[in-house]
Protein backbone atom coordinates (compact mmCIF):
# COMPACT_ATOMS: atom_id res chain seq x y z
CA UNK A 1 0.00 0.00 0.00
CA UNK A 2 2.82 2.39 0.91
CA UNK A 3 4.62 1.67 -2.39
CA UNK A 4 1.40 2.33 -4.33
CA UNK A 5 0.90 5.63 -2.54
CA UNK A 6 4.48 6.69 -3.32
CA UNK A 7 4.07 5.66 -6.97
CA UNK A 8 0.80 7.60 -7.33
CA UNK A 9 2.35 10.67 -5.66
CA UNK A 10 5.33 10.53 -8.00
CA UNK A 11 3.01 10.17 -11.00
CA UNK A 12 0.97 13.21 -9.95
CA UNK A 13 4.08 15.31 -9.45
CA UNK A 14 5.45 14.28 -12.82
CA UNK A 15 2.17 14.99 -14.63
CA UNK A 16 1.90 18.51 -13.17
CA UNK A 17 5.50 19.24 -14.11
CA UNK A 18 4.83 17.91 -17.60
CA UNK A 19 1.71 20.08 -17.92
CA UNK A 20 3.68 23.20 -16.89
CA UNK A 21 6.42 22.36 -19.40
CA UNK A 22 3.87 21.76 -22.16
CA UNK A 23 2.16 25.07 -21.44
CA UNK A 24 5.46 26.98 -21.61
CA UNK A 25 6.38 25.16 -24.80
CA UNK A 26 3.01 26.02 -26.39
CA UNK A 27 3.53 29.72 -25.63
CA UNK A 28 7.06 29.58 -27.03
CA UNK A 29 5.81 27.94 -30.21
CA UNK A 30 3.03 30.52 -30.58
CA UNK A 31 5.52 33.38 -30.21
CA UNK A 32 7.88 31.81 -32.72
CA UNK A 33 5.05 31.32 -35.21
CA UNK A 34 3.96 34.94 -34.83
CA UNK A 35 7.51 36.10 -35.55
CA UNK A 36 7.75 33.77 -38.54
CA UNK A 37 4.44 35.04 -39.92
CA UNK A 38 5.61 38.65 -39.67
CA UNK A 39 8.86 37.83 -41.46
CA UNK A 40 6.97 35.88 -44.14
CA UNK A 41 4.56 38.79 -44.68
CA UNK A 42 7.42 41.26 -45.09
CA UNK A 43 9.20 38.92 -47.50
CA UNK A 44 6.10 38.51 -49.65
CA UNK A 45 5.41 42.26 -49.64
CA UNK A 46 8.95 42.87 -50.90
CA UNK A 47 8.55 40.18 -53.56
CA UNK A 48 5.26 41.69 -54.71
CA UNK A 49 6.76 45.17 -54.92
CA UNK A 50 9.57 43.70 -57.02
CA UNK A 51 7.06 42.06 -59.36
CA UNK A 52 5.17 45.33 -59.71
CA UNK A 53 8.38 47.24 -60.45
CA UNK A 54 9.40 44.65 -63.05
CA UNK A 55 6.04 44.99 -64.78
CA UNK A 56 6.35 48.80 -64.80
CA UNK A 57 9.90 48.55 -66.17
CA UNK A 58 8.74 46.13 -68.87
CA UNK A 59 5.99 48.51 -69.92
CA UNK A 60 8.38 51.47 -69.89
CA UNK A 61 10.87 49.55 -72.04
CA UNK A 62 8.11 48.82 -74.54
CA UNK A 63 7.10 52.48 -74.54
CA UNK A 64 3.70 51.61 -73.08
CA UNK A 65 4.04 53.13 -69.62
CA UNK A 66 1.22 55.61 -70.26
CA UNK A 67 -0.88 53.11 -72.16
CA UNK A 68 -4.32 52.38 -70.64
CA UNK A 69 -3.88 48.60 -70.93
CA UNK A 70 -0.49 48.79 -69.20
CA UNK A 71 -1.94 50.81 -66.32
CA UNK A 72 -4.81 48.32 -66.05
CA UNK A 73 -2.34 45.43 -66.03
CA UNK A 74 -0.25 47.09 -63.30
CA UNK A 75 -3.38 47.80 -61.25
CA UNK A 76 -4.53 44.23 -61.63
CA UNK A 77 -1.12 42.95 -60.51
CA UNK A 78 -1.20 45.20 -57.45
CA UNK A 79 -4.74 44.11 -56.54
CA UNK A 80 -3.86 40.44 -56.97
CA UNK A 81 -0.83 40.83 -54.68
CA UNK A 82 -2.96 42.54 -52.01
CA UNK A 83 -5.51 39.73 -52.27
CA UNK A 84 -2.80 37.10 -51.80
CA UNK A 85 -1.39 38.96 -48.79
CA UNK A 86 -4.84 39.29 -47.19
CA UNK A 87 -5.59 35.63 -47.76
CA UNK A 88 -2.27 34.65 -46.26
CA UNK A 89 -2.90 36.78 -43.15
CA UNK A 90 -6.34 35.22 -42.76
CA UNK A 91 -4.94 31.73 -43.10
CA UNK A 92 -2.20 32.45 -40.55
CA UNK A 93 -4.78 33.81 -38.09
CA UNK A 94 -6.91 30.69 -38.58
CA UNK A 95 -3.93 28.42 -37.92
CA UNK A 96 -2.99 30.37 -34.80
CA UNK A 97 -6.57 30.30 -33.50
CA UNK A 98 -6.79 26.57 -34.09
CA UNK A 99 -3.49 26.01 -32.30
CA UNK A 100 -4.64 28.08 -29.31
CA UNK A 101 -7.90 26.13 -29.18
CA UNK A 102 -6.01 22.85 -29.27
CA UNK A 103 -3.70 24.02 -26.48
CA UNK A 104 -6.70 24.95 -24.31
CA UNK A 105 -8.23 21.55 -25.00
CA UNK A 106 -5.02 19.84 -23.88
CA UNK A 107 -4.90 22.00 -20.73
CA UNK A 108 -8.54 21.23 -19.94
CA UNK A 109 -7.93 17.51 -20.41
CA UNK A 110 -4.91 17.71 -18.12
CA UNK A 111 -6.92 19.56 -15.47
CA UNK A 112 -9.74 17.04 -15.74
CA UNK A 113 -7.27 14.21 -15.41
CA UNK A 114 -5.88 15.81 -12.24
CA UNK A 115 -9.37 16.13 -10.75
CA UNK A 116 -10.22 12.54 -11.58
CA UNK A 117 -7.01 11.20 -10.06
CA UNK A 118 -7.42 13.23 -6.86
Residues 10-38 have pLDDT tens digits of 555 555 555 555 556 777 877 888 888 88
> What 3-state DSSP class applies to 3?
helix
* pLDDT reported for residue 16: 53
Mean pLDDT of the chain: 80
Residue 76 reports pLDDT greater than 60: yes
* pLDDT reported for residue 87: 92
Which burial class, exposed, middle or buried, applies to 2 when counting CB atoms under 10 A from its CB (0-12, 13-18, 19+)?
exposed
> Is this model's pTM higher than 0.85 or not?
no
Is residue 63 very low, low, confident or very high in pLDDT (cuts 50, 70, 90)? Answer: confident
Sign of the CA dihedral 102, 104, 110, 115?
negative
**Alpha helices (H) along the chain:** 2-61, 68-117
Amino acid sequence: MKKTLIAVSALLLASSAFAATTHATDETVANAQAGANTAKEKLHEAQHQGEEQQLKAKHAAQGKSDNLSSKASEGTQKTWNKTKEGTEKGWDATKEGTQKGWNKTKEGASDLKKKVTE
